[in-house]
Amino acid sequence: MRFAFIREHRDRWPIVRLCRVLQVSTRGYRAWVSRPLCERQRTDLKVLAHIREHYALSNRTYGRPRMTMELKEAGLDVGERRVGRLMKANDIRPVRTRRHKVTTDSRHSLGFADNILDRNFMADTANRKWAGDISYIWTSEGWLYLAVVIDLFSRRVIGWAASDRMRKDLAIRALDMAVHLRNPLSGCIFHSDRGSQYCSHDFQKKLMEYRMIPSMSGKGNCYDNAVVETFFKSLKAEMLWRQSWPTRHQATAAIFQYINGFYNSRRRHSYLGSISPLAFEARAA
């Protein structure tokens, strides 16, 4: 352990001084350095290389449990204790960011739908329960508005749209993308908050056209739409809040990459048994 400490800090202090302070001989240290690596050390180096690779692929978001699952899926026989030890020793930790703030304005005179979903976020099959919401992302050019649609069965983002303004058609564009991708049967529940975009006549007309059943959260209760709020929190904490965005175009491109290149295809969800939405749908097919 003392020899390892010397090797780790040899760039800051002279080796001779470190050996004297720790009461070991320089000859003993050099013999330790030249000693061949044991099997455990070689395995640690191999596991560490995989950890660094998957850490980068996860946008620096995976901690010990998800990292262990990634490595096991890659064919490595490792446990959480070993993964945790290597991550801690090499200062590999998930990046933490500020808390997500819920932003919904339901101050309008439009009608509301009943809360049919009633926080029952479980679905037996795909395209039976969808949920949507809108959030804001700050760029140097001003706000970027993002609308998404999520299938509650697999937590997959199946529709999204971004705009420089809170246009009436923002939520409709996200819904249209989802419908064109999934082609749901009649009776699919669409849950949202009480925002004016979802209460508008045009959006409700779209739901009728697609034979969907509207459902809305209670007044000022973000927990009624917790799945979508959790997605926005993940999106911002795992990518958007880690840097500034000079343009809306750059932020939109990054959101596209996050949704299609990571969230749907790679990100492990504890609700899904720690696999990705696409893997969950493939398993259920």
Q: Is the pLDDT higher at 185 or at 12?
A: 185
User: Is pLDDT above 90 for 86?
Assistant: no
The answer to whether 284 and 155 have CB atoms below 8 angstroms apart is: no
Residues 6-60: pLDDT tens digits?
777 888 888 888 888 888 888 888 887 777 667 777 778 778 888 888 788 777 7
The pLDDT of residue 96 is: 66
Average of per-residue pLDDT across 269-280: 92
Residues 202-229: pLDDT tens digits?
999 999 999 999 999 887 666 789 999 9
Average of per-residue pLDDT across 276-284: 95
Question: How would you classify residue 183: left for phi > 0, otherwise alpha for psi between -120 and 50, otherwise beta?
Answer: left
At 168, is the pLDDT very low, low, confident or very high (cuts 50, 70, 90)?
Answer: confident
Share of the chain above pLDDT 70, in %: 92
The pLDDT of residue 108 is: 46
User: Is pLDDT above 90 for 99?
Assistant: no
What percent of the residues of the chain are helix, what percent strand, and what percent coil, each to the nearest 5? 50, 15, 40
Domain spans, the chain: 1-34, 39-90, 129-284
The pLDDT of residue 266 is: 92
Greatest C-alpha distance within the chain: 83
What's the token pair of residue 153?
């069965």
User: Is pLDDT above 60 for 110?
Assistant: no
How many angstroms separate the Cα of 62 from the Cα of each of 69, 85, 119, 240? 10, 15, 28, 16
The radius of gyration of the chain from alpha carbons, rounded to an integer in Å, stands at: 25
User: Is pLDDT above 60 for 195?
Assistant: yes
User: Is pLDDT above 50 for 134?
Assistant: yes
The pLDDT of residue 112 is: 78
How many angstroms separate the Cα of 223 from the Cα of each of 14, 238, 272? 58, 21, 20
At 280, is the pLDDT very low, low, confident or very high (cuts 50, 70, 90)?
Answer: very high
How many angstroms separate the Cα of 159 from the Cα of each of 23, 131, 228, 258? 64, 10, 12, 13
The pLDDT of residue 100 is: 47
In order, the DSSP letters of 81-120 are HHHHHHHHHTT------PPP-------SSS-----SSTT-
CATH superfamily of 129-284: Ribonuclease H-like superfamily/Ribonuclease H (3.30.420.10)
Mean pLDDT of the chain: 86
In angstroms, the first-to-last Cα distance of the chain is 52
Chain center to CA of 266: 9
What's the token pair of residue 171?
């939520």
